[in-house]
Structure 1
């Protein structure tokens, strides 16, 4: 697996999670959700907060991604692999959490249809982005695992060495 492919999936996962954190924040604070739908407000805030921590961690992983001479533990493939597995799990949970609130958000009485559409769309968008980022995080973990397979150290190898052609 090439380095460009891995970088692409890191970037796609990062982009989806950034969008998910923004849309989760919007879902939690849209319209009268703060006063009338406290569950959606809490779900949106928790999801947005966890997503911010997640994309911050991906930035840290990216900063250690191209250090072939480093012996730091963040340059090890198993750290990247396990991080993306955990990210996938957390994004799956957050996506389901937000999507579980769509029914309640859409079936309230609103003064106009624009507010109702916005209140319905934002948790659905945030939840869908959470599920999409889960899929991309799993794909990234799979790419890392497959790239580490030919090495004798496997996932203990330096992440910068994976996908580099030898000989």
Structure 2
């Protein structure tokens, strides 16, 4: 069960990073009411590319129980997803702080305020969901490593090899 769960949440983190590339970068090019969304959207898009690449690497080394590479260690996976979770939580907060400006429908606009609002809220929501999926991935790795005699220095797939769930 642990391997399937890890693959599921690694893949969800990966997928939502792809969505964030689109929504983060698109929202950064709207000329809405927000004073900082053009910066925060580009930050979100850039971090999404980094998350996409790094999660892909971790997913590639996720199921190699006999490997001794550093990227197969539980510690690397745990620390990586912990950092990703905290980072995406911060990005979600950054982007969501701009929703107040973009969702101001009492202010005159050219009719695109609904689109600006939707892109901002969607980008913030995707960032929060990515943080949740990364946190669950970290928790699954921590749980599996806690059952191993080697702890965080164990191979991330070691618990799967022994049938520990």
* TM-score of the aligned structures, taking structure 2 as reference length: 0.91
1:56 and 2:53 aligned: yes
1:125 and 2:128 aligned: no
1:59-74 superposed matches below 5 A = 59-74=56-71
Q: 2:48 and 2:92 mapped to 1: Cα distance?
A: 11
1:3 and 2:3 aligned: yes
Return closer, same or farther for 1:109/1:166 CA change in 2, 3 Å cut-off. Answer: same
Superposition deviation, residue 166 in structure 1? 4.5
**Could you report, residue by residue, the CA deviation over 1:94-133 in whole angstroms, capped at 9, with x for unpaired residues?**
0000000011122253112xx1110011011001111111
SS in 2 for 1:146: helix
CA-atom RMSD in angstroms = 1.7
* TM-score of the aligned structures, taking structure 1 as reference length: 0.90
Q: 2:81 and 2:108 mapped to 1: Cα distance?
A: 40
Superposition deviation, residue 8 in structure 1? 0.5
Is contact 2:2–2:140 with CA below 8 Å preserved after alignment? no
Is contact 2:91–2:124 with CA below 8 Å preserved after alignment? yes
Q: 2:35 and 2:69 mapped to 1: Cα distance?
A: 43
Residue ranges of structure 1 left out of the alignment (5+ in a row):
none
Match of 1:150 in 2: 147
